[in-house]
Amino acid sequence: MSDRRPGAFDDHHPPQLELVKDCVHCGFCLPSCPTYVLWGEEMDSPRGRIHLMKTGLEGEPLSASMVGHFDACLGCMACVTACPSGVRYGTLIADTRAQVERRYERCRRERLLREVIFWLFPYPRRLRALRGPLALYQRSGLDRWLRRTGLLNRLPPMLRVMESLVPTLTRRQPLPERIPASGRCRAVVGMLTGCVQDALFPEVNAATARVLSAEGCDVVIPRGQGCCGALSQHTGREDEAISFARALIKRFEAAGVDHVVVNAAGCGSAMKEYAHLLRDDPDYAARAQIFVERTRDVSELLVELGPVAPRHPLDLAIAYHDACHLGHAQGVRSQPRELLRAIPGLTLVEIAEADLCCGSAGIYNLLHPEPATELGDRKTRNVLATGASVLVTANPGCLMQIAASARRLDGHLTLAHTVTVLDASIRNVPLRGTPAVTDGEGAPAAGPGHWSVYSSPYQWARRMVHHGA
Amino acid sequence: MTHESAELRLLAAEFTARLGPAAVITDRQRLRTYECDGLAQHRVVPGLVVLPESAEQTAAVVRACAAAGVPFVARGSGTGLSGGALPHADGVLIVTSRMRRILEIDPANERAIVEPGVINLDVTKAASPQGWYFAPDPSSQQICSVGGNVAENSGGAHCLKYGFTTHHVLGVEVVTPNGELVWLGGTTRDVPGYDLLGAFVGSEGTLGIATKIVVRLLRESESVRCLLAAFPRVDEAGVAVSKIIADGVTPAAIEMMDALAIEAAEAAVACGYPEGAGAVLIVELDGPVAEVEHTFAAVHRHCTDAGAFEIRVARDAAERALFWKGRKSTFAAVGRISPDYIVQDGVIPRTVLPEVLRCIADLSAGTGVRVANVFHAGDGNLHPLVLFDETKPGEAQAAEEISGAILDLCIAYGGSITGEHGVGMDKAQYLPRMFTDDDLDTMQRLRCAFDPVGVCNPGKVFPTPRLCGEVPGKHKGAHPLQVAGLAEQF
């Protein structure tokens, strides 16, 4: 077959045959793969996709069907956790995707969709500019009117999905460039504010900065930091990802920090891949390596440092969801749980099928709304079955995805980031998460459980007054 | 389609009309992902893949194949290690992975009814909230299908005490090779008449396709205790196994791993087995508390007497799971220490274990081919892993030879060429070493009673086409042996 070269891939970083050969075809990855769980097909399993890469290396062309199966991969890396042979599927699919993006001509609709997404999402300023219109849309009641009249269902699928994902916006206070440690400074950390996190979940960034400061970190928030390139990297837009990575490395080098701290799982996992991404760049290869060594998920760093700020009780039942890019891609599972368990009064419950992706997967839910919705609903049903009324996870994508599913399933759930919970405990204030379900007039619905008095702003305010806070 | 044939094209059109386009695969690249199961050395691209979602759909597919004389092969999760689900180039591969409903969990009657694509471990997951479980536990239980377990009569670490799949299946709904839906066995412990269910379980997909399976559920034991004993050499570990069994103790499992297997498992899952061990034994006991405590002390003593230099006792379920994680991931973990390997499967009488292991070590030393050993020591089921590098000339051949020599050893010591992986494609050539022609003919007659036209997983289990015709492809007219008056077809 080798006479049929070049086959599916060219010579610029094709999926490496040595890595492909690490797969012994045992099939242990199959039940961990969301698309295999959904469709039960070999070619939509990690083992099948590696087999496709192998046949592609042997001479099979990069056909529409082959690309379809690579595209259908959520990149959740659950298979990497499941694999006993240590197959580096993450590297394989990243190299494959870069080849697909460079060499495969998509149809016009697909191209346009990607252009729109990548014009918008990796640019914090453009996203922030949307906040005003979005807030107006939510507050004017236009969203509810569109839903009631059924006009919403006439929108194109991607717009409909985007509409369903947008969380209720909170006030965004710009963070200062430097926040000193309260008490003795134990580390100087640079904080990534991100794109979606910054525009849609500014309260998570604010909480992160407060928690880091409370735990003895000088927090530096470099101005003008751009996108980390996670979405581009995970979609195979290699050149774009490389230029984002270079700019971010440069920005944080100038900040002179001990650690680079991230509170979004997708961003963190992409940043930890910079050494691989920039391996061919003589100027940046070594710098990327140093950057990777400095990069920490916020929960990783907090556990490394150990707590100094006292925790106050939070009487909550919390279900913790491992974001795939935190659990599978970065192996950070115990740290967020350790931080949450250390809060007095807090009960942590585990979710069934915990290893299964929620379907958010970067921009997957925009590109593949159907399987993403199915996975989102499956995850949310498992979350609701725990009986916990708060879902905690460390990725904006997962938060939006599960909130959207909860609204669809009419499930009462409040969603929060790990640091939001920590922040509430350290400051001794009730948790203010994002309620997934809003009742008619926009007031957050009270979830079941004894803590639910917190979830309505009215009741929350009353309680605050009652406690004299 | 890889092998364009008019019949396959017609079948593809028929299946698409009946089952919908999502259930039929004809694209070459997609078909190629089905070219092998867990044994990747054998590869055949199927002519057509179909994914039925019900017994009725499966029966319709089989009926159409039988009518067209097109061979078909059933496949579950594709984890078999003997090439039993190796596709047929001019045939249909019927994949059961979309038939994965658990139809009934009935603890009061100690049974569950499942579809064939249901994953082994999922049966236990569904029954465990009520305190029950499905006993057969092959190492691949997290992904292998119950239908595949039935076809291969799968075992596992705990079959020492609890038996193989055949001991845990009460009945199966089967699509016969001519497309009829029939029940073999039932929902009770015994049914009168010939034990056709017994014939079906372990028939490696040659007698039909199971579409519903009534499995037995067992009550979770009151107490489970597990220890990990490290020995300087395999010999001492073997002695410990013999002493434990001779003492009248029946552990739920006794598993042994040698140094090379430990190295692989350690690299894969960091199971933290004692350093410097030439062999480890994992011994698990279960049952009523009093019994377990009593026998556990005996096991501990026998291990110490035999020369164990370290014994760890699992303090909780999590630690027990870690002991097992190392063992259960060994096959795949060997990928970390060798680019290619053959998973062998043979059985020997337990008492000759040290002797046979010495012979294997000699074979390995004589040829320089590394052999890692993992086995269900309690029932003498060996799994030597023969390591090689395909890219180095001659290595694959040498590994193949050693692998065969190990089977000869098993036969010479009064054992068998397979303990649980089945004969499939991989070992068909070895079957005559264990059985006479008369034996093989008798088995063939049974097969022909179910599959007179020879379309159901042809080419597997038996080495050469015999009697009712193992000729791959189409079957026209009478078999040559029939014509010659040497055989008759039932």
Q: What is the pLDDT of residues B429-474, one digit of tens each?
A: 999 999 999 999 999 999 999 999 899 999 999 987 555 544 433 4
Q: DSSP label at A467?
A: T
Q: Residue B378 — very low, low, confident or very high, per pLDDT cuts 50/70/90?
A: confident
For residue range B324-333, list pLDDT tens digits in order: 988 888 887 8
Tell me, yes or no, whether A255 lies in a domain.
Answer: no
**Average pLDDT score over chain B:** 91
The pTM (predicted TM-score) of the whole model is: 0.91
Tell me, yes or no, whether A276 lies in a domain.
Answer: no
pLDDT at B59 over 90: yes
Tell me, yes or no, whether A426 lies in a domain.
Answer: yes
pLDDT at A469 over 50: no
Asked if A30 lies within 8 A of B98 by C-beta distance, the reply is no
Q: Judge contact between B72 and B7, C-beta under 8 A.
A: no
**pLDDT of B466:** 57
**pLDDT of A139:** 86
Q: What does the DSSP assignment read for A80-116?
A: HHH-TT---HHHHHHHHHHHHHHH----HHHHHHHHH
User: The dihedral of CA A204, A210, A211, A212: what is its sign?
Assistant: positive
Residue A298 CA to residue A208 CA, distance in Å, equals: 8
Burial of A370 (0-12, 13-18, 19+ CB in 10 A): exposed
C-alpha distance from residue A370 to each of A365, A399, B16 (Å) = 8, 18, 22
For residue range A378-396, list pLDDT tens digits in order: 999 999 999 998 999 999 9
Tell me the residue range of the domain where A87 lies: 2-103
Q: How far is B362 from chain A (nearest CA, A)?
A: 27
Q: Among A37, A72, A103, identify where a domain stops.
A: A103
User: To which residue do tokens 């220490």 refer?
Assistant: B337
The pair of structure tokens assigned to B268 is 């894969």
B124 in A contact zone (CB under 8 Å)? no
Asked if B335 lies within 8 A of A41 by C-beta distance, the reply is no
Q: Measured between beta carbons, which residues in chain A are less than 8 angstroms from residue B33? A: 42-43, 47-48, 51-52
The better pLDDT of the pair A70, B333 is held by A70
CATH of the domain at A12: 1.10.1060.10
CATH of the domain at A356: 3.40.50
For residue range A180-219, list pLDDT tens digits in order: 999 999 999 999 999 999 999 999 999 999 999 999 999 9
Q: How far is A69 from chain B (nearest CA, A)?
A: 9
**CA nearest to B342, candidates B40, B109, B118:** B40
Q: Among A54, A85, A103, identify where a domain stops.
A: A103
Q: What does the DSSP assignment read for B146-206?
A: HHHHHHHT---TTHHHH--GGGGEEEEEEE-TTS-EEEEE-SSS--SS--HHHHHTTSTTS
Tell me, yes or no, whether A191 lies in a domain.
Answer: no
Tell me, yes or no, whether A160 lies in a domain.
Answer: no
The pair of structure tokens assigned to B429 is 């050539």
Q: B107: which residues sit within 8 A by CB, 6+ positions away?
A: B127, B130, B131, B132, B217
Q: What does the DSSP assignment read for A209-271?
A: HHHHHHTTEEEE--TT-----HHHHHHT-HHHHHHHHHHHHHHHHHHT-SEEEE--HHHHHHH
Q: What does the DSSP assignment read for A121-161?
A: TT-HHHHHHTHHHHHHHHHTTHHHHHHHHTGGGGS-HHHHH
B29 in A contact zone (CB under 8 Å)? yes
Mutate to test the interface with B, among A16, A39, A41 (most CBs of B within 10 A): A41
Tell me, yes or no, whether A61 lies in a domain.
Answer: yes
Q: What mean pLDDT do residues B91-114 have? A: 97
End-to-end CA distance of chain B: 35
What percentage of chain B exceeds 90 in pLDDT?
75
**pLDDT of A461:** 41
Q: What are phi and psi of A400, to 5 degrees?
A: -70, -40
Q: DSSP label at A447?
A: P
Q: Among A76, A103, A130, identify where a domain stops.
A: A103
N residues, chain B:
490
B187 in A contact zone (CB under 8 Å)? no
**Total number of domains in chain A:** 2
Asked if B29 lies within 8 A of A63 by C-beta distance, the reply is yes
Provide ipTM, 2 decimals. Answer: 0.91
Residue A283 CA to residue A247 CA, distance in Å, equals: 12
pLDDT at A438 over 70: no
Asked if A31 lies within 8 A of B267 by C-beta distance, the reply is no
Asked if B143 lies within 8 A of A63 by C-beta distance, the reply is no
Residue B371 CA to residue B402 CA, distance in Å, equals: 9
C-alpha distance from residue B395 to each of A58, A286, B342, B388, B406 (Å) = 22, 40, 12, 6, 16
**pLDDT of A451:** 27
Strands B223-231 and A347-349: unpaired
For residue range B337-369, list pLDDT tens digits in order: 888 888 899 999 988 888 898 999 999 999 999
Tell me, yes or no, whether A427 lies in a domain.
Answer: yes
For residue range A411-422, list pLDDT tens digits in order: 889 999 999 999
Q: Measured between beta carbons, which residues in chain A are less than 8 angstroms from residue B79? A: 26-27
Asked if B335 lies within 8 A of A84 by C-beta distance, the reply is yes
pLDDT at A76 over 80: yes
Tell me, yes or no, whether A99 lies in a domain.
Answer: yes
Who among B29, B95, B267 is closest to A65 (CB)?
B29
Asked if A26 lies within 8 A of B38 by C-beta distance, the reply is yes
Q: Residue B12 — very low, low, confident or very high, per pLDDT cuts 50/70/90?
A: very high
Q: Residue A465 — very low, low, confident or very high, per pLDDT cuts 50/70/90?
A: very low
What percentage of chain A exceeds 70 in pLDDT?
92
Q: Judge contact between B160 and B379, C-beta under 8 A.
A: yes
Q: How far is A236 from chain B (nearest CA, A)?
A: 22
Domains in chain B with CATH codes: 6-95 (3.30.43.10), 102-219 (3.30.465.10), 222-336 (3.30.70.2190), 338-428 (3.30.70.2740), 435-483 (no CATH)
Residue B284 CA to residue B312 CA, distance in Å, equals: 12
pLDDT at A2 over 60: no
